[in-house]
Amino acid sequence: MKIAVDIRSASGEKAGKGWFTFYIIQNLLEQDQKNHYLLYAQNKTPGFDKYKNAQIKVINSKGILWHYKVVKDIQKEAPDIFIAPTSYIIPVLLPKSIKTILVVHDLVSFFYPHMHNKKAAFIERFLLRTALKKAKKVIAVSKNTKNDIIQKFNYEKNKINIVNCSASDDFKPVEAGSLSSFIKKTNLPANFFLAVGTLEPRKNYINLIKAFGRVNKRYPNYHLIIVGNNGWNYEQIYEEIKINYLQKKVHILGYLSGKSLNNLYNLAKGFVFPSLYEGFGIPPLEAMKCGCPVIASNTSSLPEVVGESAILISPHSVSEMENAMLSLVKDKNLCDNLRQKGLKQAKKFSWKNSAAKLLKMIKKL
């Protein structure tokens, strides 16, 4: 079979959807040498060149024009299957003769449109219903997302397969000697909480900063490190830091990946993920793979991701967030317990297994 895939989000600095595309397609290509793959990208995308049965097709355009050019090329190539890991535009434009596997990460545009980029929210709300109708099969990245699709669109549950995200195997515990060297190079504070994710309203950083401010009053030697690019409507987050006079205690580092992020997970007193809504939530898994105690929201997909291996809090309660952080500061046994449970929980997810589920779907189409 000939299979076309949109890998546009797998290049450059990646967030959740980009990492899903990058790892699920890499692992799919590792497991499937029989089918031929056409990988559509906007830029040169490292990580796929070594696969002999994959052809990378770079389409040099932007925005909607890129999608139209890809559709035109797909029609010329006439693949049997098209996999859409992130965007709904191409699935809507393609003829039904090309079987589409549509990936739905979340329904944030429907449930929290006021907390999402307005343009992106409009496009998703306008296209998703049609994309779902045309799709041969749908992938949901969590049980929660599957349930959201069924409830919102009265969708046939048998057409939806759950294919979870995971965390890279690059995230793992690091020896003390290597961490000491990293601390000296970076001048990190001795005690800090860590948060990872794009700076945008849905990630709920404002409540986190409020909660941390309370913790810092009792434990002035603690800091908060936030890793993530500025996203939509990020300015309020910086304003909240100023309002609480935390400019010297809250450190926003921008985008990080690889060894630097792995080291931060290993060194943090705890990882805090107070998001209001997630389709999956990869960062808590990354933290658990490193042995970092996790505090996470009790909403959407997060309880199924972290299981009983994290402290679950209401993202709307600053007091719950504060108390959870204080418990990690005070209780070493709790930290050790969460660390061991987290390492075990993280093993339940793997990109290899998720890619195997995708390949099974492909074979059945």
Tokens of 106: 């979340």
Q: How confident is the model at residue 44, as a pLDDT?
A: 87
Using the predicted structure, report yes or no on whether residue 30 has a pLDDT greater than 90. yes
| Predicted pLDDT of residue 114 | 81
Has this prediction a pTM greater than 0.85?
yes
pLDDT at 119: 83
The answer to whether residue 78 sits within a structural domain is yes
**Alpha-helical runs (H) found in 168-311:** 176-186, 205-218, 235-243, 258-267, 282-289, 302-306
Closest CA to 209 of 225, 198, 221: 225
Judgement on whether residues 150 and 242 belong to the same structural domain of the protein: no
Q: Residue range 155-171: average pLDDT?
A: 96
**Could you tell me if 146 and 186 lie in one domain?**
no
Angle at the Cα of 166 from the Cα atoms of 58 and 6, rounded to 5 degrees: 20
Q: Is 207 exposed, middle or buried (0-12, 13-18, 19+ CB in 10 A)?
A: buried
183 lies in the same domain as 53: no
What backbone torsions phi and psi does residue 77 show, to the nearest 5 degrees? -75, -30
Q: Which of 32-46, 174-188, 328-342 has the lowest mean pLDDT?
A: 174-188
- 255 inside domain: yes
CATH number, domain containing residue 70: 3.40.50.2000
244/317 same-domain check: yes
**Shared domain check, 201 and 155:** no
Q: Provide the residue range defining the domain that includes 301.
A: 176-346
Do 308 and 340 fall within a single domain?
A: yes
Q: 3: closest CA among 65, 41, 54, 57? A: 54
Please report the pLDDT score of residue 214 as a whole number: 98
Q: How far apart are CA 300 and CA 281, in angstroms?
A: 10
Same domain for 273 and 213? yes
**Residue 185: pLDDT band by 50, 70, 90 thresholds?**
confident
Residue 117 shares a structural domain with residue 17:
yes
Which of 110-124, 162-176, 211-225 has the least mean pLDDT?
110-124
**C-beta of residue 316 within 8 angstroms of C-beta of residue 295:** no
In a domain, residue 210? The reply is: yes
**Helix (H/G/I), strand (E/B), else coil: 239:** helix
For the chain, the domain total comes to 2
Which residues are CB-contacts of 24 (< 8 A; sequence separation ≥ 6)? Answer: 85, 163, 351, 354, 355, 358
CA dist 365 and 353 (Å) reads 19
Contacts of 23 (CB under 8 A, 6+ apart): 166, 168, 351, 355
- Are 158 and 213 within one domain? no
* Same domain (yes/no): 158, 216: no
Q: Is the pLDDT of residue 180 over 90?
A: no
pLDDT, tens only, 252-271: 999 988 899 999 999 999 99
Instruction: State both tokens at 247.
Output: 């400019």
- Number of Cα atoms under 13 Å in the Cβ half of residue 341: 17
| Mean pLDDT across 107-113 | 90
Confirm whether 201 is domain-assigned.
yes
d(CA 321, CA 45): 39
Please tell me whether residues 187 and 69 are part of one structural domain: no
Domain assignment of residue 171, yes or no? no
Give the Cα separation of 221 and 191 in Å (integer).
7
Calculate mean pLDDT across residues 197-220: 97
Residues 114 and 184 grouped into a single domain: no
Can you tell me the mean pLDDT for 22-32? 97
